[in-house]
Amino acid sequence: MELNDANLQTLTEFLRKTLNPDPAVRRPAEKFLETVEGNQNYSLLLLTLLEKSQDDVIRVCAAVTFKNYIKRNWRIVEDEPNKISEADRTAIKANIVNLMLSSPEQIQKQLSDAISIIGREDFPQKWPDLLTEMVTRFRSGDFHIINGVLRTAHSLFKRYRHEFKSNELWSEIKLVLDTFALPLTELFKATIELCQTHANDVNALKVLFSSLTLISKLFYSLNFQDLPEFFEDNMETWMTNFHGLLTLDNKLLQTDDEEEAGLLELLKSQICDNAALYAQKYDEEFQPYLPRFVTAIWNLLVSTGQEVKYDLLVSNAIQFLASVCERPHYKHLFEDQSTLTSICEKVIVPNMEFRSADEEAFEDNSEEYIRRDLEGSDIDTRRRAACDLVRGLCKFFEGPVTAIFSGYVNSMLTEYAKSPRENWKHKDAAIYLVTSLASKAQTQKHGITQANELVNLNEFFVNHILPDLKSSNIDEFPVLKTDAIKYVMIFRSQLPKEQLLQAVPLLISHLQAQSTVEHTYAAHALERLFTMRGPNNATLITSAEMALFTEQLLTNLFKALSLPGSAENEYIMKAIMRSFSLLQEAIVPYIPTLIGQLTQKLLLVSKNPSKPHFNHYLFESLCLSVRITCKANPATVSSFEEALFPVFTEILQNDVQEFLPYVFQVMSLLLEIHSNSIPASYMALFPHLLQPVLWERTGNIPPLVRLLQAYLEKGGATIAASAADKVPGLLGVFQKLIASKANDHQGFYLLNSIIEHMPAESIIQYRKQIFILLFQRLQSSKTTKFIKSFLVFVNLYCVKYGAIALQEIFDSIQPKMFGMVLEKIIIPEVQKVSGIVEKKICAVGITKILTECPAMMDTEYTKLWTPLLQALIGLFELPEDDSIPDDEHFIDIEDTPGYQTAFSQLAFAGKKEHDPIGDAVGNPKILLAQSLHKLSTACPGRVPSMLSTSMNAEALQFLQGYLQAATVQLV
């Protein structure tokens, strides 16, 4: 693509179309951009637009498109095409910093993100001058430019907060500190002086305070891994100024907005974070400064109001106290009873209250409320911080703190009892307090795993939680109902089973609550209870115990999906999936009605897939319906195909990329259920599955390979007879996969199925070419994974076509090639093969080479006979990997089944491991003994003499054992 006006004009038109709400206009435009993004200069055209376009909307759109393009394509992945040419990469790095600094803020933010994405890959090795180019801009005195640099540096360095320690990371941080720490400190001091100079100029203060906040964030990132020498030497400068800023109160920077945090709050909350970092990690060096920070932060807490805009500040300030109070040598600061009472009274209790802002979120923004409360993204909420402080204080003062709070809990519950309608928030706070007091350790999988002995959880459940769950009006006091459901959920490992069983029907009725939060929590609680383990690794709650409630459970779950706000509620869908898995054949009578509802839902969401988790659980539920019903009656597979194929066809025709890997998995599951023939509806689809475009997307590869394997297994002969012209296409897929290190094993899965299921005559003409391709790959890049797969394939070929055929095909490629493969690959590497089926294939294949290949007995290959036998005995006797995968019912589906690159494996579409040898060989060791016996009868004396000359004693002993077990001997 040339950098010219015509191309700029075309790009502008397509960018404008991508903003169109009508999918018929938007989708083709997105597709067009996807097809041209690999062209040279595409990225430079975008940069030209965002710099020079007259239309601000197009400028921002170009900036966002550019950032997303960089995000997708900058990283160079081995075996995958590099979509950005070297010339473009160099041009982007040469211009982007200048462009970012001279752009308006909206565009600056996008370019700043793009720089940090590029920096993550290229800095410092491939972009050594990035930092110096940025640092020189500090001298410009223009804070629009300075803030651009600070923002970029922040997005570049913030990964230091969560990277694992490594020498590479240390040397990068050292380089950054050498270039950046001094200028940053000078800028910090200069900015504070400017704040004093411009103390009465509100506009100047706004810019300066946003700089100070960014500088404070950079301080946090640069100090996170370890205390750098530079900052230790300059601690006085930083801490004195941080303390000064904490106690500063500038009337001009106070905002009237009750919701949005102002600059002053943002800066102070970052300083609380910085102080907590030093108090936790570098307490010795920080000790001289600690008392004044404790005082300043305590005063802040006591004087800050309840408005939402202070939430981040208050929670960070409380987190600071929490991190200080659990360090043994700050214990004395909190020992005094009056101090503890004061903290409880003035900090913890007020910040546990359910405020009107929380109530609004509960009612009007349920998704955000659930994310904060249930998924733990509430790190910066007051309640969460107060809860952490309670936990911190309980570490050394569990008795006194529990006593102080018990008083509060009782008085709150008494207030509630006087007038529930007026005082329900008192009960909410009491439950929250009990929860934070009782929970010492918690995991996502089991809820609370360790509880405070001083709190009687069962008694509290019976007296205060059960009455709310049993209340006949499920829509009254929805917040308290939600609290009660959450109590059951988080203390599920502490409450006795009979109480959980008592709760199940009550939770089922709460699925009908109008409140989104309430019915979502009910679904989530049921799903969690269904994954609890009982004795013998089975589920704690059994299908039999659910018999009375099965119909109500399924009815209410599906009804809940039609409640306002829950059409794509992932918690409900996950509960449906888990219920199916728990109830197994008990769901069969209901499937005819439910499958219609599931396919209807699938059709709707496929129009615009926006909730990855919901969609994942929806497909899992479909798989379960198919598996459970067809297990009971395989003939029902055709009614599932009738229900699902119309929707699948639409998804394939509209190329709904997110759903294709799922559709292929469900189709494999359906096809695998058929007895040995392929229905015509599948054969019609076969040619489409070989289209190269489908194989370009990495997420499609595993499910497509599995689907092709199912085609081959059920109809290798049909394909050979009615679609012989498609065999080269099938082998073309194999060739593409084998060339990639990431996907070569998938290529072997396909190849093994071709060898196993296709009639020999249909592939005879391609065999030699297949081996040549494999040898080329072996020469160019020989990885352990490739070797293991290669060994399994070679031995499968031997099992299928015989040892003579294997030796002949090798030697036809190059004389003596068979011996080279044995000596260089099979003998030294066979030990690496893992997996029961894989080992069995190799054992049977090698046994055939040893005993059914005349060339092994009387040519130069004979010297390899004993080493090969020894390698086989090693394969039998060396330790086997015996880890057993978790039963699929308990698998917690990946929390982030990402759409784009990752392949979202459906746990319940699980494929049974296939053994191509099957019952023909029960025990490969016995087979070896019998085959050696047969060989020795054919050429008496040869086998014992070969064994006695060069076989190691230990291997011989094992071999004797096999012969005895098979009751045969060598002659």
3-class DSSP assignment, residue 737: helix
Report the residue count for the chain. Answer: 971
Confidence at 773, pLDDT banded by 50, 70, 90: very high
**Under 8 Å between Cβ of 527 and 485:** no
pLDDT at residue 453 is higher than 80: no
| DSSP state string for 497-545 | HHHHHHHHHHHHHHTT-SSHHHHHHHHHHHHHHHT-B-GGGSBSS-TTT
The span from the CA of 858 to the CA of 935, in Å, is 13
Mean pLDDT to the nearest integer, 920-944:
93
Which pLDDT score, from 0 to 100, does residue 698 have? Answer: 87
pLDDT at residue 838 is higher than 80: yes
Mean pLDDT to the nearest integer, 550-579:
97
Closest Cα to residue 772, out of 799, 812, 732? 812
Which pLDDT score, from 0 to 100, does residue 881 have? Answer: 44
Mean pLDDT to the nearest integer, 288-304:
93
Q: What is the 3-state secondary structure (H, E, C) of 365-382?
A: CHHHHHHHHCCCCCCCCH
Q: Which residue type occupies 23?
A: P
The span from the CA of 212 to the CA of 567, in Å, is 44
Residue 106 token pair: 């909206």
**Under 8 Å between Cβ of 486 and 521:** yes
Q: In sequence order, which residues have a C-beta less than 8 Å from that of residue 803 and are 6 or more positions away?
A: 848, 849, 852, 853, 856
**Under 8 Å between Cβ of 643 and 601:** no
Radius of gyration of the chain (CA): 34
| DSSP state string for 400-443 | HHHHHHHHHHHHHHHHHHH-HHHHHHHHHHHHHHHHHHHEEEEE
Residue 90 token pair: 């160099």
**Under 8 Å between Cβ of 350 and 303:** no
Place of tokens 């391709």: 773
**Under 8 Å between Cβ of 436 and 429:** no
Place of tokens 């005094």: 336
The span from the CA of 386 to the CA of 799, in Å, is 67
Alpha carbon of 887 to those of 130, 527, 531, 627: distances in Å? Answer: 50, 16, 11, 15
pLDDT at residue 220 is higher than 90: yes
The alpha carbon of residue 676 and the mean position of all alpha carbons in its chain are separated, in whole angstroms, by 37
pLDDT at residue 183 is higher than 90: yes
pLDDT at residue 734 is higher than 50: yes
Convert the pLDDT of each residue in 161-176 to its tens digit.
999 989 999 999 999 9
**Under 8 Å between Cβ of 316 and 267:** no
CB count within 10 Å of CB 942 equals 17
Convert the pLDDT of each residue in 60-110 to its tens digit.
999 999 999 999 999 988 777 788 999 999 999 999 999 999 999 899 999
The span from the CA of 447 to the CA of 674, in Å, is 42
Convert the pLDDT of each residue in 49-72 to its tens digit.
999 999 999 999 999 999 999 999
Helices and strands in the chain: count of H runs, count of E runs: 50, 2
- Backbone torsions φ then ψ of 439, nearest 5 degrees: -90, 120
**Under 8 Å between Cβ of 382 and 318:** yes
pLDDT at residue 498 is higher than 60: yes
State the sign of the Cα–Cα–Cα–Cα dihedral 125, 130, 136, 141. negative
Mean pLDDT to the nearest integer, 562-591:
96
Beta bridge partners of residue 627, listed in sequence order: none
Closest Cα to residue 560, out of 552, 367, 215? 552
3-class DSSP assignment, residue 449: strand
Tell me what percent of the residues of the chain surpass a pLDDT of 90: 78
The span from the CA of 732 to the CA of 737, in Å, is 9
Which pLDDT score, from 0 to 100, does residue 910 have? Answer: 78
The span from the CA of 788 to the CA of 750, in Å, is 15
Q: In sequence order, which residues have a C-beta less than 8 Å from that of residue 38 and are 6 or more positions away?
A: 81, 83
**Under 8 Å between Cβ of 757 and 713:** yes
Q: In sequence order, which residues have a C-beta less than 8 Å from that of residue 285 and are 6 or more positions away?
A: 227, 232, 235, 278
Alpha carbon of 364 to those of 261, 309, 312, 361, 516: distances in Å? Answer: 21, 19, 21, 5, 9
**67: Cα within 13 Å, side-chain hemisphere:** 18
Whether a cis peptide bond, with omega within 30° of 0, leads into 124 is yes
Q: In sequence order, which residues have a C-beta less than 8 Å from that of residue 887 and are 6 or more positions away?
A: 537
Place of tokens 């070896």: 928
Place of tokens 């290529």: 747
Which pLDDT score, from 0 to 100, does residue 898 have? Answer: 34
Closest Cα to residue 370, out of 569, 558, 531, 504? 569
Beta bridge partners of residue 448, listed in sequence order: 442
The span from the CA of 932 to the CA of 224, in Å, is 65
Confidence at 884, pLDDT banded by 50, 70, 90: very low
Which pLDDT score, from 0 to 100, does residue 367 have? Answer: 92
CB count within 10 Å of CB 456 equals 13
Confidence at 891, pLDDT banded by 50, 70, 90: low
Per domain, the residue ranges of the chain are 1-121, 333-529, 541-655
Place of tokens 């593409």: 736
Which pLDDT score, from 0 to 100, does residue 379 have? Answer: 61
pLDDT at residue 899 is higher than 50: no
Residue 498 token pair: 């009979």
pLDDT at residue 902 is higher than 70: no
The span from the CA of 578 to the CA of 507, in Å, is 15
pLDDT at residue 895 is higher than 50: no
The span from the CA of 580 to the CA of 597, in Å, is 14
**Under 8 Å between Cβ of 644 and 598:** no
pLDDT at residue 948 is higher than 90: no
Mean pLDDT to the nearest integer, 241-268:
89
Mean pLDDT to the nearest integer, 318-340:
89
Convert the pLDDT of each residue in 121-161 to its tens digit.
999 999 999 999 999 999 888 999 999 999 999 999 999 99
Which pLDDT score, from 0 to 100, does residue 361 have? Answer: 92
The span from the CA of 272 to the CA of 293, in Å, is 9
pLDDT at residue 889 is higher than 90: no
Confidence at 880, pLDDT banded by 50, 70, 90: low
pLDDT at residue 702 is higher than 60: yes
Q: In sequence order, which residues have a C-beta less than 8 Å from that of residue 853 and are 6 or more positions away?
A: 803, 804, 806, 807
pLDDT at residue 863 is higher than 70: yes
**437: Cα within 13 Å, side-chain hemisphere:** 29
Residue 529 token pair: 């209870």
CB count within 10 Å of CB 568 equals 18
Mean pLDDT to the nearest integer, 844-860:
94
Which pLDDT score, from 0 to 100, does residue 377 have? Answer: 64
**Under 8 Å between Cβ of 113 and 67:** yes
Confidence at 890, pLDDT banded by 50, 70, 90: low
Mean pLDDT to the nearest integer, 386-411:
91
The span from the CA of 213 to the CA of 146, in Å, is 13
The span from the CA of 9 to the CA of 124, in Å, is 36
